[in-house]
């Protein structure tokens, strides 16, 4: 039984198609990396699995059931959090991951205390577990957030950009941690990322989303010039450095149109724009013009 099974699945948000006809599975104990341009719908894929966003077409099974919010077998690390701003200790925060959905005051039972301690230990966060979250470094907070998302031992862990805003050393530590978590618990892990290289050593499957399409398979079956060129609709080149890091050239052409607006789109605007990626580069450029014209009118 697959952990996740998308069949002919399409997702639309606000009447706009995000991606369509995705066919992919995620197997137990595997690590999948979701790649693609900003706004292509990587986070949306996780949200569909979580039952937060419905499919507009096709089917999705999570542990052979329809996706539903509050699935006790699914752990989730969201991209936007407010842990940099909290005076709560790491241990308390991880504790909320264990029993935060239950009513009443709750007591620190021995089961909870042990689960929290184990999750913090596995994440390598024991040394700073009693410090407030705001006082931790980005890498330390990411470890705590991983413990928070996995403290109830989910069989599927969804991580949205766990490497964002970390330096290379911290990225490497988190990648090792993801691998350790998979090996220790046997859970399947799906990681949304914007850079393949730090994750390449541990990845079993790549899901690449661009131009409303999703390609999936082993790393070399997806991240090769033929597949990516076809997916993006123009020539993509892949250069492998002597140390085995891939430099993928040509992805940025999708966004290389001159902007008619004096300020480049940022934040949600950029997501909206990218979500409208057309079938041809020219259409995309027209979409830019149309959107800004509407916006300024």
Shortest Å distance, C-beta 113 to other proteins: 14
Q: Does the protein bind other proteins through residue 196 (CB under 8 A)?
A: no
Whole-number Cα distances in Å, 91 to 117, 125, 127, 281:
8, 9, 11, 49
- Which residue shows structure tokens 């999948």? 32
Residues 17-56 that bind other proteins (CB under 8 A): 50, 52
- Residue number, 23 or 109, with CB nearest to other proteins: 109
- Residue number, 242 or 267, with CB nearest to other proteins: 267
| The one among 12, 17, 86, 248 contacting other proteins by CB under 8 A | 86
Q: Which residues pair with 206 in a beta bridge?
A: 33, 217
The window from 83-91, 120-128, 186-194, 211-219 that contacts other proteins (CB under 8 A) reads 83-91
Find out whether 24 and 214 touch, Cβ atoms under 8 Å.
yes
| The one among 97, 124, 162, 275 contacting other proteins by CB under 8 A | 97
Q: Does the protein bind other proteins through residue 126 (CB under 8 A)?
A: no
| The one among 54, 66, 106, 264 contacting other proteins by CB under 8 A | 106
Q: Does the protein bind other proteins through residue 240 (CB under 8 A)?
A: no
Contacts with other proteins: how many residues (CB under 8 A)?
Answer: 34
Find out whether 141 and 170 touch, Cβ atoms under 8 Å.
no
| The one among 3, 4, 77, 163 contacting other proteins by CB under 8 A | 77
Residues 131-160 that bind other proteins (CB under 8 A): 131-132, 148-149
Mark 152-175 as b/e (b = at least 16 C-beta within 10 Å): bbbbbbbbbbbbeebeeebbebbb
Q: Which residues pair with 159 in a beta bridge?
A: 77, 191
Shortest Å distance, C-beta 165 to other proteins: 17
* 74, burial (CB in 10 Å: exposed 0-12, middle 13-18, buried 19+): buried
Number of CB atoms found within 10 A of residue 226's CB = 8
Residue 256 CA to its chain's centroid (Å): 25
CA 143-203-40 angle, to 5 degrees, is 85
- Residue number, 89 or 197, with CB nearest to other proteins: 89
Distance, in Å, from the CA atom of 240 to the CA atom of 249, rounded to the nearest integer, reads 11
3-state secondary structure of 210: strand
Whole-number Cα distances in Å, 115 to 91, 108, 258:
11, 11, 53
| The one among 74, 125, 147, 177 contacting other proteins by CB under 8 A | 74
- Which residue shows structure tokens 């949304």? 192
Shortest Å distance, C-beta 126 to other proteins: 16
- Residue number, 39 or 223, with CB nearest to other proteins: 39
Shortest Å distance, C-beta 44 to other proteins: 13
| The one among 14, 15, 64, 105 contacting other proteins by CB under 8 A | 105
Shortest Å distance, C-beta 158 to other proteins: 8
Find out whether 26 and 32 touch, Cβ atoms under 8 Å.
yes
Residues in contact with other proteins by CB under 8 A are: 50, 52, 69-70, 74, 76-83, 86-89, 92-93, 96-97, 99-106, 130-132, 148-149
């Amino acid at each position: 039984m697959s952990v996740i099974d998308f069949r002919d699945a399409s997702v639309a948000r606000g009447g706009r198609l995000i991606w369509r006809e995705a066919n992919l599975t995620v197997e137990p104990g595997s690590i999948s990396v979701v790649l693609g341009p900003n706004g292509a719908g990587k986070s949306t894929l996780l949200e569909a699995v979580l039952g937060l966003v419905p499919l507009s077409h096709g089917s999705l099974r999570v542990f052979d059931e329809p996706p539903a919010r509050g699935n006790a077998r699914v752990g989730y690390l969201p991209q936007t959090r407010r842990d940099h701003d909290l005076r709560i200790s790491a241990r308390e925060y991880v504790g909320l991951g264990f029993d935060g959905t239950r009513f009443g005051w709750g007591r620190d039972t021995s089961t909870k205390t042990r689960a929290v301690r184990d999750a913090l230990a596995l994440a390598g966060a024991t040394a700073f577990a009693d410090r407030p979250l705001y006082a931790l470094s980005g890498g330390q907070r990411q470890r705590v957030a991983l413990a928070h998302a996995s403290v109830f031992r989910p069989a599927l862990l969804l991580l949205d950009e766990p490497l964002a805003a970390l330096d290379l050393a911290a990225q490497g530590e988190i990648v090792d941690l993801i691998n350790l978590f998979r090996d220790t618990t046997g859970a399947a892990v799906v990681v949304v990322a914007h850079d393949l290289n730090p994750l390449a050593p541990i990845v079993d499957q790549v899901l690449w989303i661009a131009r409303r399409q999703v390609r999936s398979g082993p790393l070399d079956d997806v991240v090769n010039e033929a597949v990516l060129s076809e997916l993006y609709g123009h020539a993509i080149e892949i250069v492998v450095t002597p140390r085995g890091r891939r430099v993928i050239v040509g992805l940025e052409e999708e966004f290389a149109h001159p902007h008619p607006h004096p300020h480049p789109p940022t934040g949600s605007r950029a997501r909206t724009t990218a979500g409208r990626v057309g079938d041809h580069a020219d259409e995309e450029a027209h979409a830019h013009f149309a959107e800004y014209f509407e916006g300024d009118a």
